[in-house]
Amino acid sequence: MRVVIQRVSEASVVIENKVVAQIKQGLLVLVGIEDEDTLEDVNWLTSKIVNLRIFPDENDIMNFSVKESNGEIIVVSQFTLHAATKKGNRPSYIKAAKPDIAIPLYENFVKHMEIGLGKQIQTGQFGADMKVSLVNDGPVTIIIDTKNKE
């Protein structure tokens, strides 16, 4: 699994001109899933994200997690995170998991994020054409790949 985590002061997801997710301060998490990903990847990654200390304390030092700062989270599926661009100019998405593998892992990812955060999170819609808007706070952007966790 590969994620791009952005600390935001606000973010939203629009599908067919309808706002389906909207938050103020928190995280926008773009998640890409590969065929080899497992529930172990989901557990490790969701725990890492919820506890990642990237929110400022009273001295403006990144010491608080999204949970400690009472932030919100939007999760958006993003198969293009696994684009292979080595050959040619058209990205290949051969490493991205097909829906029969990706959807159950994505749903587990969302469920584990909610458990870790202790409240409901918002999401885009798997496979939909989404318009994602955000104000990156910092800017703070972190990329994590479960294939590089050791």
Q: 80 catalytic, yes or no?
A: yes
Q: Looking at residue 118, what is its pLDDT?
A: 95
pLDDT, one tens digit per residue, over 65-84 is 999 999 999 999 999 999 98
Q: Looking at residue 29, what is its pLDDT?
A: 98
Q: Looking at residue 20, what is its pLDDT?
A: 98
Give me the catalytic one of 38, 46, 80, 85.
Answer: 80
Please state, in angstroms and rounded to a whole number, the distance separating the CA atoms of residues 27 and 13.
13
Q: Which domains does the chain have, with CATH numbers?
A: 2-148 (3.50.80.10)
Please state, in angstroms and rounded to a whole number, the distance separating the CA atoms of residues 75 and 30.
6
Q: Looking at residue 74, what is its pLDDT?
A: 98
Give one word for 62, left, alpha or beta, with left for phi > 0 and alpha for psi -120 to 50.
beta
Low pLDDT (below 50) residues in the chain: none
